[in-house]
Amino acid sequence: MATRFYEQEVRAGLKDKRKLSAYLETVVREHLKDVKLMHLNYIFCKDEYLIGINMQYLQHDTFTDIITFDLSENIYELQGEIYISVERVKENAKQFGVDYQHELLRVIFHGVLHLCGFKDKKKEDEELMRKMEEACIREYGEFQLPSKVA
């Protein structure tokens, strides 16, 4: 199980990557019981980079905070690339009246929840997604890394 974090010409200011990787694995295991292999790449970037991806692959000429690609080939693996615009996250944090780290975590969890099958196009799906994101933020705050066995 691996989660990697990349910064494409930006600084995301991501804290405690080891803890976050372990927690993301618990989220996946909770929702996708059959997954044996997990490989996630989070790529933090600028608006310009993400709008290029949005236009090239989704034919959307709009800013967005996140684009998630599910690259899994079967139900036993979860492979994905999750692109996050740091600029959008900063703007959203101001708009929603939360700090940057809170909004960054919300978007990170949003991406993995999409890969776990959660949707957000319909109103009821979006409401559930928001509840799941907030639950992840709360649980992550209480999450402890497993102790190393000697």
Please report whether residue 150 resides in a domain.
no
Please report whether residue 122 resides in a domain.
yes
Please report whether residue 18 resides in a domain.
yes
Write the CATH number for 96.
3.40.390.30
Burial class (CB in 10 A: 0-12, 13-18, 19+), 86: buried
Residue numbers of the domain that contains 125: 2-142
Residue 150 has pLDDT above 50, yes or no: no
For residue range 61-99, list pLDDT tens digits in order. 888 999 999 999 999 999 999 999 999 999 999 999 999
Please report whether residue 147 resides in a domain.
no
Number of domains in the chain: 1
Please report whether residue 44 resides in a domain.
yes
